[in-house]
Amino acid sequence: MRFWVAKHIVFDVLNTSLKGNLFFYLRMLKLLKLQKFLPYKTYEDNYFYQGYEVFGIRGAKPTIFRLNQYSDLELPPKSKILDIGSNVGFLDLHLSSLGFNVTGIEINPVLVTAANCFKAKIGANTNFICSDFLEYNFKDRFEVVLSLSNHQTTDGNLKIDFNAYITKVHSLLETNGIFVFESHNIYGPGKGLPGDDGDILEKITLLTRYFRIYKFKMVKSYLEHNVNDVNKLLVIMYKIDFQSPNMQLVHLNNFYSNNFDYSYIKK
């Protein structure tokens, strides 16, 4: 067990005790340990990757702290949201508490079980699906799709064609729906490795075929220990019909001229 995980467990024991959630927390911690039997790599020594301050769980990515980094989201009230790669569901549970209608999809069955346990604990109206995003046949369309560093995964479990991924996101959004895209490591080599978005300019070019970029900014690293984590590019977009190359160029020029220093990610 890494030192920072042990430190966080001590922190969590104290905080969940103060909030009356200690025994529930310990049961959930034991549940997460079952991930060692899964046939693929898992995050953070099977500790909580997401955290939720309401429960007293710090995690690698505290949910409320994380949402504060996304202060420009401006999501329509009570909108129907799809979260791709929902992990233990803390982000979705919190969004549900704010009045949003949230569905999370996650491929890891242990994490989905944990998410449903937390859902039952607080009585949230959140739907969790255990499936591969590209393979699942959604019956609903959504006003918002969240892809927060989940177009591929740093654990290497999900390797998909970016064009296929974006095409499906586009198909699941309502007219003028909002797509919130968070990058992985834009400082990487751009070789298609897990967590490598060094080819972010090519990805942005593809995105402008399907979406109109509304806002973008860099958001701070969440992991307190700053190991295997970097600042990310957050892009907020609106769904549009498939664009002509000329209109795509207009949107790209707008992206590059908006006082965003992208020179450090150029090849």
Give the C-alpha separation, 108 to 169, whole Å: 20
Distances (CA, A) of 52 to 58, 75, 76, 95, 180: 6, 20, 23, 12, 21
Give the C-alpha separation, 173 to 145, whole Å: 7
Distances (CA, A) of 97 to 124, 208, 217: 7, 32, 26
Q: What is the pLDDT of residue 263?
A: 44
Outline where DSSP puts E strands in 69-115.
80-84, 101-106
pTM: 0.89
Exposure b/e, 30-54, CB count within 10 A at least 16 = b: ebbeebeeeeeebbbebbbbbbbbb
Q: What are the structure tokens assigned to 173, written together? A: 């959004």
Q: What is the pLDDT of residue 262?
A: 47
Give the C-alpha separation, 44 to 136, whole Å: 27
- The torsion of the CA quartet 142, 158, 151, 233, rounded to 10 degrees, works out to 140
Q: What is the pLDDT of residue 222?
A: 73
Q: What is the pLDDT of residue 257?
A: 62
Q: What is the pLDDT of residue 267?
A: 31
- Class of the CATH-defined domain 72-265: alpha beta
The one-letter amino acid code at 205 reads T
**187 touches 196 (CB < 8 A):** no
Tens of pLDDT along the chain (267 residues) come to: 677 788 889 999 999 999 999 999 999 999 999 999 988 777 778 899 999 999 999 888 889 988 988 887 889 999 999 999 999 999 999 999 999 999 999 999 999 999 999 999 999 999 999 999 999 999 999 999 999 988 765 444 555 688 999 999 999 999 999 999 999 888 888 777 777 888 888 898 889 889 998 888 888 877 665 556 788 899 999 999 766 666 666 666 666 666 454 443 333
Q: What is the pLDDT of residue 77?
A: 94
The one-letter amino acid code at 100 reads F
Q: Where are the domains of the chain?
A: 72-265
Give the C-alpha separation, 90 to 5, whole Å: 18
